[in-house]
């Protein structure tokens, strides 16, 4: 397993570099073929390479991604290493160790009949080309097991917030800030009104956060344009719909300005009801395997498991690596947990397919 993990980590796969993702897909496909005895489908959508293996009539979806957030060349500053039982390197935790565990789990089944394995190439940038593919593949299946890395302490992820992304553009009118500011329509002031209105939409577990802001051209010019990015996280589908309706209902306050609201829901929430039965099953199986008690976590970050849940497929997430530091300098995997998590995944597949 360590050898397989090294092979994947040494093949850098930055999401925004489609050529690197294509190279990575070939490496992942070859590794899967070694373990499973068959090549996958290569599914290229808008230049992004995804892989899918289908065995018999599927009942179970195993879902992962082979792209990472690490730019090409990151191996020079974050080299692959294994020391004191800990593996390090770009993408080792999120989520190349999860791919290795998946291949070894399937290889140990004897026959992978009843399983579909989908490995996408653009999860880290919001799955723009793979979202529909994921939903179509998951629809009607008995379970989706998402091989994303675990939460702290190895906890499985039983709920994830859904995400919506917006850009609020304000169109105003420029004027000289000293000579005749009254002849302008200040897009900056209008954006300030909108930022306060947007931030007030959050309530309870729902967060609505203005993020990237821009506007204006020079210090002595009334800004004719300004914009704000907005990040929305929701725990329930109804909340996602409420915020979307409120965003689209925004209206200008400053006379002479005009609003343009772009974007919308990106991923639906993975609600706890979609994972409860599978988590109970995982607890039972883990006890039988002597793996100790399993814990669960609700997290704010989204994954492709949000899409499977949104398609109506019961979903359990966070079955991949145990470690920490996703997207950070201290990204790492606890090597001893890899065969333990592999055994749990294999047992889950056997119980459900």
Active site residue ranges: 67, 123
| Sequence-ordered strand ranges (E) for 78-179 | 81-83, 86-88, 115-120, 143-146, 156-160, 162-171, 175-176
Measured at the CA of 226, the angle between CA 225 and CA 231, to 5 degrees, comes to 150
Return the closest-CA partner of residue 187 out of 198, 203, 174, 176. Answer: 174
Give the separation between CA 71 and CA 343, rounded to whole angstroms.
Answer: 32
Give the separation between CA 165 and CA 210, rounded to whole angstroms.
Answer: 10
Phi, psi of 117 (to 5 degrees): -115, 120
Helix (H) / strand (E) containing 342 = helix 337-352
Cβ(47)–Cβ(77) under 8 Å? no
**How far apart are the two ends of the chain, measured CA to CA in Å?**
25
Return the closest-CA partner of residue 105 out of 293, 249, 272, 319. Answer: 319
Give the separation between CA 337 and CA 85, rounded to whole angstroms.
Answer: 10
Cβ(127)–Cβ(298) under 8 Å? no
Burial class of residue 220, CB neighbours in 10 A (0-12, 13-18, 19+): exposed
Map 56-94 to HEC letters: CCCCEEEEEECCECCCCCHHHCCCCEEECCEEECCCHHH
What interhelical angle do 337-352 and 97-107 show, nearest 10?
50
Give the separation between CA 121 and CA 101, rounded to whole angstroms.
Answer: 18
């Amino acid at each position: 397993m360590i050898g397989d993990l090294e092979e994947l980590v040494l093949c850098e796969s930055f999401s925004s570099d489609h050529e690197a993702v294509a190279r990575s897909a070939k490496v992942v496909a070859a590794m899967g073929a070694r373990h499973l005895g068959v090549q996958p489908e290569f599914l290229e959508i808008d230049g992004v390479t995804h892989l899918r293996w289908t065995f018999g009539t599927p009942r179970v979806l195993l879902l992962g991604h082979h792209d990472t957030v690490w730019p090409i060349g990151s191996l020079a500053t974050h080299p692959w290493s294994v020391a004191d039982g800990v593996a390090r390197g770009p993408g080792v935790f999120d989520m190349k160790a999860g791919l290795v565990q998946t291949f070894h789990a399937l290889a140990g089944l004897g026959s992978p009949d009843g399983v579909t394995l989908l490995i996408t190439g653009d999860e880290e940038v919001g799955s723009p080309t793979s979202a529909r593919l994921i939903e179509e593949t998951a629809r009607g299946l008995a379970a989706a097991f998402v091989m994303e890395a675990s939460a702290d302490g190895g906890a499985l992820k039983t709920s994830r917030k859904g995400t919506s992304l917006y850009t609020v553009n304000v169109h105003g009118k420029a004027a000289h800030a000293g000579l005749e500011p009254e002849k302008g329509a200040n897009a900056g002031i209008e954006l300030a009104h909108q930022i306060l209105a947007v931030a007030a939409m959050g309530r309870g577990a729902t967060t609505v956060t203005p993020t990237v802001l821009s506007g204006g051209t020079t210090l002595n010019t009334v800004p004719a344009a300004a914009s704000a990015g907005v990040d929305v996280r929701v725990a329930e589908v109804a909340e996602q719909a409420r915020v979307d309706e409120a965003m689209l209902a925004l209206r200008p306050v400053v006379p002479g300005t005009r609003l343009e609201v772009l974007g919308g829901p990106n991923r639906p929430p993975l609600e706890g009801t979609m994972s409860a039965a599978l988590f109970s099953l995982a607890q039972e199986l883990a006890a039988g395997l002597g793996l100790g008690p399993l814990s669960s976590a609700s997290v704010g970050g989204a994954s492709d498991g949000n899409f499977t849940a949104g398609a109506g497929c019961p979903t359990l997430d966070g079955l991949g690596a145990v470690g920490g530091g996703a997207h950070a300098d201290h990204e790492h995997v606890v090597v001893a947990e890899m065969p333990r998590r592999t055994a749990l995944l294999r047992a889950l597949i056997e119980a459900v397919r």
